[in-house]
Copies of this chain bind each other. A is one copy, B any other.
Amino acid sequence: MPDPFRTVGIDIGGTNIKIAALWNDGRVLASHQIPTLAADGPRQAVGRIVAAVGEVMRAEGLESTEMRALGLDSAGIVDGERNLVLDAPNLRSWERYPLAEEVGSALGLPAFLENDVNAMAYAEWRCGAGRGTRHLLCLTLGTGVGGGLILDGKLYRGARGAAGEVGHTTLEAHGPRCNCGSRGCLERYVGASYIVERALAALAGDPRPSSLRSVPPAELSPFVLSRAAAEGDGLATLVLEETGFWLGVGLASLVNLLNPERIVVGGGVAQAGEVLLGAARRTLGERAMDVPGRMAEIVPAALGNDASLVGAALLAHERVRES
């Protein structure tokens, strides 16, 4: 018999906070969004979050006794035992503030905090593109490149909750400097701004005609490139295939190391779709070892922008059931 209780999921972003009530299988009943107002600090947010949860519940006619757990997620390094963000580049003044505990006690619900990419990976695994696997890698390609690992049927967090930094695995030891301080990291080749950088270099160095030449440089984005590629633009295709090559180089190392069944790729850059993923698959096939390489499928993410919030709610429910 399915568990009749519901959960609340809250995604803490640098710009917006998303709030939803969910079934325990991850389906969203109702959701709402409020501004983060990051500069005002975390204390001011508690009351607004609690009010927004109340609104979502009232809109669906839900009673607070029907809610079972509260799952929050945030970017940064999360201490899952104490439910604290230790290191959050986009929310510096919110670090170490007990937001989960405060919101949870105001709502009378057990509250748990998870890293946003871990939460996304968990959601894709439980009810998205990773369903049915025991060993799954999940990547999110955007401004940054994040990763979440499901290993032996469990979310893997590492010793301090810092595991999964796929974006900062090295592709070229003497490559260009990365924001993290190292060189030649995956993020430095497939992060959104570097794709645009590569497109601008291609436009400058490659004389062939391209619809991209009529786009103002400030408006170039992976999405614009993928639209141009879909319309047959050779230069845009080349840039996305090159991006897919670098993604494939990084995935070959991960596949040799972790032997996953599947790799789920999400995030804004992944909207480039088959041009990008197809090139990544070819490179993976050329570079990964035989046994792990043949079995590792690369597939697009299924859950879109709600994935982290759904995963945070599912994980919270899981932790309540375990306790």
A interface vs B, CB < 8 Å?
Answer: 77, 86-87, 134-135, 147, 149, 151-152, 154, 156-166, 168-174, 180-183, 246, 249-250, 252-254, 256-261, 286-292, 295
Contacts of A152 in B (CB 8 A): 151-152, 154, 156
Residues of B contacting A181 with CB < 8 Å?
286-287, 289
Select one of B77, B172, B257 contacting A165, CB under 8 A.
B257
Contact of A135 among B158, B258, B290 (CB under 8 A): B158
* B164 pairs with A257, CB closer than 8 A: yes
Contacts of A151 in B (CB 8 A): 151-152, 156
Measured in the bound complex, the distance between the Cα atoms of B161 and A174 in whole Å is 32
Q: State in angstroms the CA–CA spacing of A166 and B259 once bound together.
A: 11
Task: Report B-chain residues with C-beta under 8 Å of the C-beta of A295.
Answer: 159-160
Is the beta-carbon distance between A292 and B252 smaller than 8 angstroms?
Answer: no
Contact among B161, B163, B253, B259 with A162 in the assembled complex (CB-CB below 8 Å):
B259
Residue in A151, A168, A256, A295 with the greatest tally of chain B CB atoms within 10 Å: A256
Instruction: Give the distance in Å from the alpha carbon of A212 to the alpha carbon of B127 in the complex.
Output: 61
CB distance from A253 to the nearest CB of B (A): 4
Contact A289 B257 (CB under 8 A): no
Name the residue of chain B whose CB is nearest to the CB of A287. Answer: B182
**Given the known A-B contacts A170-B171, A252-B170, are A163 and B289 also in contact in the complex, defined by CB atoms under 8 Å?**
no
B165 pairs with A256, CB closer than 8 A: yes
Give Cα A158–Cα B287 distance, bound, in whole angstroms: 18
CB distance from A281 to the nearest CB of B (A): 15
Closest chain B residue, CB of each to CB of A254: B257
Task: Given A158-B135, A159-B135, A182-B287, decide whether A256 and B292 contact each other with a Cβ distance below 8 A.
Answer: no
Q: How far is the CA of A192 from the CA of B314 in the complex (A)?
A: 48
- How many whole Å from A168's CB to the nearest CB in chain B? 4
Which residue of chain B lies nearest to A164 when distances are taken between CB atoms in the complex? B257
In the bound complex, do residue A258 and residue B158 qualify as a contact, i.e. CB atoms below 8 Å apart? Answer: yes
**A165–B292 CB distance below 8 A:** yes
Q: With the chains together, A228 CA to B87 CA distance in Å?
A: 45
Of the candidates B166, B180, B287, the one whose C-beta lies within 8 Å of that of A170 is: B287
Inter-chain pairs besides A86-B291, A158-B259, A166-B257, 7 sampled, C-beta below 8 Å: A158-B258, A158-B260, A162-B256, A162-B289, A163-B257, A163-B292, A172-B173
Contacts A158-B258, A163-B257, A260-B158; A173 near B291 (Cβ below 8 A)? no
> Considering the chains assembled together, what is the distance between the CA atoms of A299 and B149 in angstroms?
26
Evaluate contact between A291 and B160: CB separation under 8 angstroms: yes
